[in-house]
Chains A and B, each alone.
Chain A
Amino acid sequence: MGTLGNVPPHSEAVSALMDDELSTDEFDHILHALTEDDALKERWTRYHLAKDVLRRTAPPICVTSLADRVAAALASHPPSIHVRRHVRHVPWLRRHRGKGLAAAAVVLLTLISFTPQNPATPGVIPPDQTVALSYTEIDPNAPQAALINAYLMNHSVYLAGSGAGGVVPFVHLVDYQE
């Protein structure tokens, strides 16, 4: 068995998470660790990206080849992939199969990425005869949904040109195409 070198704690467990090899207890443990540890969170994201890139088709134009890009992504974090493949023992975990990676991703990202907003702030003018709606309540086939999408796209195009928001307006333009 190779040496772990400077592999950060929990890295192998994250790898096992990617490989769908954790029991319920192990799963809970690593989720907790991920919510507490930003570095581990980013490591998990990089694993996911590398795996995703390997499974998908390259975009229509790339300055570098897909292989180069994947190699570059892996080269920047060599312990993550290599250690996972050669060292299967996780001292504080037992390995079991049966947890779906997709479910893990949804649960994990829900925990680390999003918290619902609070109700309206006190002191703000109350909406006049309005009904609070969530976006999901808008029928996607209704004219209102198409109109809102058009508004969102125009808003994002303006943001993209203003330079504010970094790449986020472009992500929204991609997203709103749905």
Chain B
Amino acid sequence: MSVCSVGRFLAIGLIASLPAATVHATVAPLQLLTRMFEARRTVSYEGDFVYLQNGQMTTLHIVRQVGKHTDQEHISTLDGPVREVVRHQGQATCTLPTGQSVVLVGRPISPGALQHIDEITAYYDLRLGKNERIAGRNAQSLEVYPRDDLRYGHRFWLDLDTGLLLKSELLGKQGDVLERVLFIRMSLVTEPVDPVESKESKVVPAQTTQALANAGSVAWTVGQLPAGFRLEEGNQQDTASTQQFVYSDGLATVSVFVERVPADRETMRGLSRRGALNIYSTRYRDWQVTIVGEVPEATVTRMGTSFHLHD
């Protein structure tokens, strides 16, 4: 680890350990953002929240437990058919209303976005907002405006005591709210809770997770990667079937899925959208390339049309 990195993590540790009153009095926007990411990784809590998007509202319950040997979440719907996700040590098990489960292999909560957080201000303008009371807790709002039209803006409301996110809004290019999360109730969890056991059911590996295990060895690159985005993770192994490359600017994350397809197989082409997520699909030689991310359609299009093999 470089001296610079050591200094950065020392600074992060110092900010995360500051008493709430100190943070409230002295915190700068970037420090507040750092505190938010750190809280996400280190604080256990449970609560109820609403998710609003595209005219639909879903109410959910979440329990987050983190400790020396624990990293798990359980989230379930409070309305409609019971749907739940249990995430334990990076592996997510999704239980369908039918009782069937799908297991997805991810990774444990990592410092991730903290590693390059000091670069975020190059691409986003951070401003402190008002103090408000949300879910019975005192919150500080933080406004995050993109400096170009290749990423979305955010409004965060952070718990003053812990840095946990109590409310968030994802903002479109015109400042319109694309999706909103609002905690109605949140409480910290201080006592250990038994590990969450998902219902017994048939486990079906997700399609791409199965395929990712057979990822292949080719050198892919994005010719016109938007400034600030860097490759966070990517499989470049032998005999590829499907690969996932993940790019992030610290706040926005874009996945590129590449799958080899037979010449006679119909491929997806064009733009589609799922909530605030934009999806761009195209064919490149014998490959289906699909870009997925909570970024404007211009960004997924730009990345998709310039994604290519090193010859």
Question: Which residues does A use to contact B, with CB under 8 Å?
Answer: 42, 45-46, 48-49, 52-53, 56-64, 69, 72-73, 76, 105-106, 109-110, 112-115, 117-118, 120-121, 124-135, 137-138, 144, 146-148, 150-155, 157-168, 170-177
| Interchain CB contact under 8 A, B206 and A150 | yes
* Residues of chain B lying within 8 A (CB to CB) of residue A160: 73, 87, 92, 106, 109
> Which residues of B lie under 8 Å from residue A53 when comparing CB positions?
48, 59, 78
Contacts of B140 in A (CB 8 A): none
List residues of B whose CB falls within 8 A of some A CB: 37, 40-41, 46, 48-63, 73-79, 82-85, 87, 90, 92, 94, 96-97, 102, 104-114, 134-136, 149, 165, 168, 170, 172-174, 176-182, 184-185, 187, 189, 193, 196, 199, 206-209, 212, 224, 232-233, 244, 246, 248, 250-251, 253, 255, 257, 266, 268-275, 277, 279-282, 290, 292-294, 296-298, 301-302, 304-306
What is the minimal beta-carbon distance from B157 to any residue of chain A, in angstroms?
A: 11
Contact A164 B55 (CB under 8 A): no
Contacts of B49 in A (CB 8 A): 167
Q: Is B181 within 8 A of A168, CB to CB?
A: yes
Given A168-B51, A170-B62; A120-B297 close (CB under 8 Å)? yes
Q: Is the CB of B59 within 8 A of A49?
A: yes
Nearest Cβ on chain B to A151's Cβ, whole angstroms: 5
Inter-chain contacts of A153 with B (CB < 8 A) = 94, 102, 104, 206, 208
B246: A residues at CB distance < 8 A: 158
Query: Do A167 and B62 have beta carbons less than 8 Å apart?
Result: yes
Q: A174, B75: Cβ atoms under 8 Å?
A: yes
Chain A residue contacts of B185, Cβ below 8 A: 69, 72-73, 76
- In contact, A133 and B272 (Cβ under 8 angstroms): yes
* Interchain residue pairs A-B with the least CB separation, the first 5: A115-B176, A157-B106, A162-B112, A59-B76, A110-B55
| A127 near B270: Cβ-Cβ < 8 Å | yes
Known: A60-B82, A113-B52, A159-B253. A164 touches B298 (CB 8 A): no
In the complex, chain B residues whose CB is within 8 Å of the CB of A52: 59, 78-79
Enumerate chain B residues within 8 angstroms of A175, measured Cβ to Cβ. 58, 275
Q: Are A162 and B63 CB-contacts (below 8 A) given A73-B184, A135-B273?
A: no
Using Cβ atoms and an 8 Å threshold, which residues of chain A touch B56? Answer: 109
Q: How far is the CA of A2 from the CA of B212 in the complex (A)?
A: 64
Select one of B37, B51, B255, B301 contacting A171, CB under 8 A: B51
CA distance A51 to B237 in the complex (A): 52
9 contacts between A and B (CB under 8 A): A42-B134, A59-B76, A59-B77, A121-B173, A130-B269, A162-B232, A167-B165, A171-B181, A177-B96
Q: With the chains together, A160 CA to B41 CA distance in Å?
A: 11
Q: Nearest residue in B to A110 (C-beta to C-beta)?
A: B55
In contact, B272 and A135 (Cβ under 8 angstroms): yes
Q: How far is the CA of A138 from the CA of B271 in the complex (A)?
A: 11
Closest to A118 in B: B173
Query: Please, which residue of chain A has its CB at the minimum distance from the CB of B277?
Result: A152
A45 to B51, CA, bound (A): 10
Distance in angstroms from A70 CB to nearest chain B CB is 10
CA gap between A52 and B80 in the complex, in Å: 10
The contact of A133 among B196, B257, B270, by CB within 8 Å, is B270
- With both beta carbons as reference points, the residue of chain B lying nearest to A62 in the complex is identified as B61
The distance from the CB of B150 to the nearest CB of chain A, in whole angstroms, is 8
- Additional A-B contact list (19), CB under 8 Å, known A151-B290, A152-B292, A154-B208: A46-B184, A114-B55, A117-B172, A130-B281, A133-B270, A134-B273, A150-B208, A152-B277, A153-B102, A153-B208, A154-B206, A154-B209, A160-B109, A162-B253, A167-B49, A168-B179, A171-B51, A174-B60, A174-B77
Separation in Å of the A127 CB from the closest CB of chain B?
A: 6
Contacts known (A63-B193, A152-B292, A163-B110); A131 close to B269, Cβ less than 8 A: yes
A150 to B113, CA, bound (A): 24
- B206 in contact with A171 (CB, 8 Å): no
CB distance from B262 to the nearest CB of A (A): 13
B306 CB, nearest partner CB in chain A, Å: 7
Q: Can you name the residue of chain B whose Cβ is closest to the Cβ of A114?
A: B54
A174 with B40, Cβ < 8 A, contacts A115-B174, A150-B207, A152-B292 known? no
When distances are taken between beta carbons in the complex, the residues of chain B under 8 Å from A144 are 266, 268
